[in-house]
Structure 1
Amino acid sequence: MAVTDDAILRVKEMIVSGELKPGDRLPREADLAERLGLSRNSLREAVKALSLVRVLDVRQGDGTYVSSLRADELLGALSFVLDLHRGEESVLEVLEVRRVLEPACAAIAAVRIDDKDIAALRELCEETERSDSVERLVELDLEFHRRIAQAAGNAYLAQLLDTLAGPTVRARIWRGIAQGGAVDRTVAEHRAIVDALAAHEPELARSWSTVHVAGVEQWLRNLG
């Protein structure tokens, strides 16, 4: 194991064990390096790496702190990586992951969703049907899937799904959908998902969500 990787693992163990909690300030570099049996240079590199993925927050002139460790902050780095990989193969791989996660999310949401969210989802379907702007379609689609994920009541799942198919990836998908004349079919699938959610039928919501994501995935494969 590389020295820096070992240093990262040591700091991680302190956080996982609860020795360092969200918001805690790390001990002085020299003290922490001595305590962990590391060189100051390897500890410095570990801190730099952990700050890049937002586990640590380096405050100039103040010290280094453990971040809040909130899902939205920690998954921000993943969003950055996904934005760098914009090829067709990367988009298809993202859709494969969505095909695994979104149906499960929809099934959970079907049990927990309330009438207010159902009404909001139906309105999003109406507006999507009326929209002729790809930019607006992307916004509406993000909001549609975000509301379902939020209704599931799992912050990590909601943030992961939001990150996996953020604006950059969705813009590519919706440009293809609009050019291929598949907007009406996509909206119809959205409506079917909402109907399943409104009926509080988890397996039906799971099935329609699978059909929806798999359909977009297959359609994009055929285009290629």
Structure 2
Amino acid sequence: MSAAGTSRKGLRVALTDDAIVKIRSLIQSGELPPGARLPPEPQLAAQMGLSRSGIREAVKVLESARVLDVRRGDGTYVTSLAPRLLLEGLGVAVELLRDDTLLEVMEVRRLLEPLATGLAAVRMTDADLDGLGQILEDMRAAADDAEKLVQFDSDFHHTVVATTGNETLTSLLDGLSGRTLRARVWRGLIEGNAARQTIDEHQGIYLALRSRDQLLAQANALIHINTSEAWLRTVLAAKAADA
């Protein structure tokens, strides 16, 4: 690319970044609250002193980030800005991580999920516990089916963390515990004849939650995540050896 072409590209990026910052500032200040409709593109460009193309590109970026919702034929609106929406991209990013960084994700999960499980112990309702017990029974019935176990495992941990009532924490841990990561762990557990042991660890978490024992629930969750992390290391080491 010529120097002039590079310069023009750099200018476009700078204008887009400027527009993103200005739109974000309107949202943060409350001038454009959740659900608000943005002014038409020409008006917004004039208001910000930027080109319409810069505004257009900024809107595309913010739409991808779930900050804006572009409704064809209607207008562009600020989304609810709910954590589950804004953190949705985290799960996609985790799915794309290379093997050598997946263990870092497990480490972050090990730091957060036991504490969340302990918090759930004092916040779960009896109905929540009954639902969790049914998921546990489904896991036992699917002990040799990796695909089903991935889904039930995801449901189990999501249910536990969601009962804390902390949507940000729930969205964050959902993103860190993506399907690809779970699938790798469960395949390793099944091949190593350790799936039933790990399901028993879920049973330990469930019983601690049922007894409303915060510290025991936290400890059982930590043991379980350590088991998953150890098996992920085994799976990744085997893959590296084969390569």
1:49 to partner: Cα distance: 0.4
What pairs with 1:188-203 in structure 2 (closer than 5 Å)?
188-203=200-215
Q: Which moved more, 1:68-77 or 1:173-182?
A: 68-77
Larger Rg: 2
Q: Does 1:107 align with 2:145?
A: no
1:14 to partner: Cα distance: 0.9
Opposite residue 230 of structure 2, the aligned amino acid is Q
The answer (yes or no) to whether the contact 2:201–2:220 under 8 Å persists in 1 is yes
For residue 96 of structure 2, the aligned residue among 68, 74, 84 is 84
- Cα separation, 2, equivalents of 1:127 and 1:27: 50
Residues 81/43 of structure 1: CA separation in 2 closer, same or farther (3 Å cut): same
For residue 36 of structure 1, the aligned residue among 44, 48, 67 is 48
> What's the CA shift string for 1:5-64, capped at 9, x where partnerless?
222121111111111012211112222222223222222211110011111111222221
- Cα separation, 2, equivalents of 1:166 and 1:90: 14
> What's the CA shift string for 1:79-134, capped at 9, x where partnerless?
2223333x422432321221122112101101111222223323322332231211
TM-score by length of 2: 0.84
For residue 6 of structure 1, the aligned residue among 11, 18, 31 is 18
- Cα separation, 2, equivalents of 1:50 and 1:121: 37
The answer (yes or no) to whether the contact 2:201–2:224 under 8 Å persists in 1 is yes
Structure 2 gaps of 5+ residues are 1-12, 238-243
- Cα separation, 1, equivalents of 2:171 and 2:180: 16
Opposite residue 135 of structure 1, the aligned amino acid is E
What pairs with 1:10-21 in structure 2 (closer than 5 Å)?
10-21=22-33
Q: Does 1:73 align with 2:85?
A: yes
Tell me the residue number matched to 2:60: 48
Tell me the residue number matched to 2:137: 126
Work out the number of aligned pairs and report it. 223
Tell me the residue number matched to 2:162: 150
- Cα separation, 1, equivalents of 2:96 and 2:230: 23
For residue 140 of structure 1, the aligned residue among 152, 156, 160 is 152
The answer (yes or no) to whether the contact 2:188–2:234 under 8 Å persists in 1 is no
- Cα separation, 2, equivalents of 1:158 and 1:142: 12
Superposition RMSD on alpha carbons, in Å? Answer: 1.9
Opposite residue 129 of structure 2, the aligned amino acid is I
